[in-house]
Amino acid sequence: MSNEILLLSGPNLDLLGTRNPEIYGTTTLAEHVERFRRLASDAGFSVRHVQSNFEGDLIEAVHARGDAVAIVINAGALTHSSWALADALDTFTGIKVEVHISNPAAREPFRHLSTLAGSVSGSIAGFGATSYELALDAVRRLTSTSS
């Protein structure tokens, strides 16, 4: 069984650390990914990270997931509009965790809809950088119960 987690980062997440720090904090995407990788390694997982500002690239990454045990995805604004990404996630039968640094339900009304919610195992939102750690913990716990 694979121990790889596919970590997907959507549009504008490459601007973390400088974009709306009052909402998203000052941690950069590279710092989030490095911390996630370190914690994942400590838990026995490897991580493949893909960031793109283009919907099709994220869909292709889901299609090329190999034998990943889980997908952790922060789709950014595509969360609220990408039925195509939801369809791609539907093709993966492993663990899928939707992550948000902020709490979309506490923000503008257009952010209240997640087109991905029905295609993922669960969602974690609103805990800042800790959201990624909680997603990893969910993957760890769910993989240990399915073995």
Per-residue pLDDT 10s for the chain (147 aa) are 589 999 999 999 999 888 877 777 788 999 999 999 999 999 999 999 999 999 999 999 999 998 999 999 999 999 988 999 999 999 999 999 999 998 776 676 766 678 899 999 999 999 989 999 999 999 999 998 654
Instruction: State the Cα angle at 122 between 115 and 129, rounded to 5°.
Output: 95
CA distance 2 to 16: 30
32, 49, 100, 132: the catalytic one is 100
What residue spans of 75-129 are helical by DSSP H?
83-90
24, 32, 49, 132: the catalytic one is 24
8-state DSSP, 13: G
Domains of the chain, first to last:
4-146 (3.40.50.9100)
Exposed/middle/buried for residue 55 (C-beta within 10 Å: 0-12, 13-18, 19+): middle
CA distance 62 to 11: 15
Whether 24 sits among the annotated catalytic residues: the reply is yes
